């Protein structure tokens, strides 16, 4: 019996994934649990294991295809078994294997004519693929006006293309021919399009034409023109992270607490343990290991920071899962130390080395990036002293960590040079108040300034 290969549910906030690469070819023998394909989600690039043993079927979703979680993207067959037909629906990028004729029919169905437009806005959240959202932004199209042809009315790229083409055809009846993006910007800047000279095909007003005019508009932003630019394609991680961070900053009222911690004993402890830890585990102990360990223990004492605020409800996580932001070639990702409060410092060091290596090689699994309840972002290795981080939704706090540097501090009545480090805690004020967050920081400082208690 055919075994379905599904787009996995990589975390409770991930709704879709993009296929980057199949590690096996159609007809190859596969074993249950071996790496089968590489998928990119908003959180990370992960390696997906085979759900069963058999022969990989001939019909696979193409690399570049973006589909919702739990969608069937291929089949594993028994010898001689006929493969079921793969029904992706009209989902994902235009690189998926859908015929041009089928695309055209679906695009036509997605066009909303003037007589079909809804008088009231679409109710509920708008479901759209990343490529559809990007295209809508480029053309200044409101997705609420677009009818989706994907599963459950999901808007896909060709729906946006069809809508834009329909607008282009209808605008020919207008006295002024302009692109949707040009019309939107002109409306925002209160510019009369009839006064703008179009440089597009047939004298059509383009976005750049409106930008040029806006230079002379009082109170309008000044747009640079005539400069050479290069289109930079965002990875899925970068694009969706941008959307999620924007949402977090708009919806979560951030407040920030910063303080300087004396790392003298932490530096001495790490130097004293370096050789023994590397000998026993093969891993070089880092300050990130000490940080994650300290954060986990501080959260254990202050579970009020280990929470989420969603849909006007405050919920407390039952596990302490600390995420560590890692910079990779495809963008920022956040591998997770599950139940970090129950791991020793040596176990955390071994886990950190493992997941950072997997992150840098695009081989994180869904489990590696799911279930985080608190995040640590360390930019000390780049020489950064202090910074404020944006909360990683749906979490309620994130700790920003600067470099350890020798600085003058007052000790008793004397000034001494000590190794210190700045910590900045960003907190969602809907979930946590200032005093609660301050007490958490005080506890964390206690662990970092007396780090040997982390070894107990």
> Residue 44, SS3?
coil
Distances (CA, A) of 7 to 31, 241, 261, 366: 18, 20, 44, 11
Residue pLDDT, tens place only, 142-194: 788 888 887 667 787 788 888 877 766 655 555 677 777 777 777 777 787 77
Percent of the chain with pLDDT over 90: 43
Average pLDDT, the chain: 82
Per-residue pLDDT for 44 more than 80?
A: no
Mean pLDDT in residue range 386-401:
95
Lowest average pLDDT, out of 93-97, 134-138, 298-302, 353-357, goes to: 93-97
- Options 139, 302, 350, 429, the catalytic residue: 429
Separation of alpha carbons 17 and 112, rounded Å: 28
Phi, psi of 398 (to 5 degrees): -145, 140
pLDDT value, residue 194:
79
Separation of alpha carbons 165 and 373, rounded Å: 44
The number of beta carbons lying within 10 Å of the beta carbon of residue 344 is: 12
Separation of alpha carbons 369 and 359, rounded Å: 10
Separation of alpha carbons 287 and 61, rounded Å: 43
Decide which of 182 and 433 is more confident.
Answer: 433
pTM: 0.60
pLDDT value, residue 125:
58
CB burial of 406-442 (b: ≥16 within 10 Å; e: otherwise) equals eeeeeeeeeeeebbbbbbbbbbbeebbeeeebeebbe
Contact partners, residue 47, CB within 8 Å, separation at least 6: 23, 35, 37, 38, 362, 363, 364, 365
Separation of alpha carbons 337 and 323, rounded Å: 6
DSSP 164-205: HHHHHHHHTTSSS-B-HHHHHHHHHTT--GGGSPP-SGGG-B
The full set of domains in the chain, from first to last, is: 3-77 (2.40.50.100), 100-236 (no CATH), 255-455 (3.30.559.10)
90 is catalytic: no
Pairing verdict, β 326-328 and 254-262: unpaired
Separation of alpha carbons 456 and 443, rounded Å: 16
pLDDT value, residue 443:
97
Bond preceding residue 376 cis, omega within 30 of 0: no
Distances (CA, A) of 437 to 255, 258, 374, 428, 434: 10, 11, 13, 10, 5
Residue pLDDT, tens place only, 257-296: 999 999 999 999 999 999 999 988 889 999 999 999 999 9
- The closest alpha carbon to 324, from 368, 258, 274, 384, belongs to 368
Helix (H) / strand (E) containing 16: strand 16-22
pLDDT value, residue 136:
75
């Amino acid at each position: 019996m055919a075994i379905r290969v599904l787009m996995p549910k990589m975390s409770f906030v991930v709704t879709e994934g993009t296929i980057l690469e199949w590690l096996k070819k159609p007809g190859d023998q596969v074993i249950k649990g071996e790496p089968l394909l590489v998928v990119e989600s908003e959180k990370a690039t992960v390696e997906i294991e085979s759900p069963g043993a058999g022969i990989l079927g001939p019909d696979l979703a193409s690399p570049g295809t973006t589909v919702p979680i739990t969608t069937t993207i291929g089949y594993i067959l028994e010898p001689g078994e006929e493969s079921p037909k793969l029904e992706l629906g009209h989902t994902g990028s235009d690189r998926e294997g859908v015929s041009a004729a089928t695309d055209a029919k679906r695009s036509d169905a997605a066009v909303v004519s003037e007589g079909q437009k809804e008088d009231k806005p679409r109710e509920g959240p708008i479901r759209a693929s990343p490529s559809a959202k990007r295209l809508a932004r480029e053309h200044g199209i409101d997705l609420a006006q677009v009818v989706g042809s994907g599963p459950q009315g999901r808007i896909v790229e060709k729906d946006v293309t069809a809508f834009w083409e329909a607008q282009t055809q209808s605008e020919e009846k207008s006295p002024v021919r302009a692109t949707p993006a040009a019309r939107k910007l002109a409306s925002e800047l209160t510019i009369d399009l009839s006064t703008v000279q179009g440089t597009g095909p047939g004298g059509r007003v383009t976005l750049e034409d409106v930008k040029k005019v806006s230079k002379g508009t009082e109170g309008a932003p000044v747009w640079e023109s005539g400069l050479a630019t290069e289109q930079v394609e965002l990875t899925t991680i970068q694009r969706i992270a941008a959307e999620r961070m924007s949402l977090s900053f708009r919806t979560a009222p951030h407040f920030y607490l910063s303080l300087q911690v004396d790392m003298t004993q932490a530096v001495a402890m790490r130097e004293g343990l370096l050789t023994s830890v590397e000998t026993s585990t093969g891993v070089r102990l880092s300050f990130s290991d000490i940080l994650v360990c300290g954060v986990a223990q501080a959260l254990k004492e202050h579970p009020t920071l280990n929470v989420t605020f969603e849909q006007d409800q405050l919920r407390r996580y039952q596990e302490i899962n600390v995420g560590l932001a890692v910079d990779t070639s495809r963008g920022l990702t956040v591998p997770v130390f599950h139940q970090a409060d129950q791991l020793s410092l040596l176990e955390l060091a071994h886990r950190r080395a493992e997941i950072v290596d997997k992150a840098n090689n695009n081989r994180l699994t869904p489990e590696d990036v799911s279930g985080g309840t608190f995040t640590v972002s360390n930019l000390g290795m780049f020489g950064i002293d202090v910074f404020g981080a944006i909360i990683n939704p749906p979490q309620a706090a994130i700790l920003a960590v600067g470099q350890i540097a020798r600085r003058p501090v007052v000790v008793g009545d004397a000034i001494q040079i000590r190794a210190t480090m700045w910590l900045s805690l960003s907190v969602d004020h809907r979930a946590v108040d200032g005093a609660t967050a301050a007490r958490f920081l005080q506890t964390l400082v206690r662990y970092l300034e007396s780090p040997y208690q982390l070894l107990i």
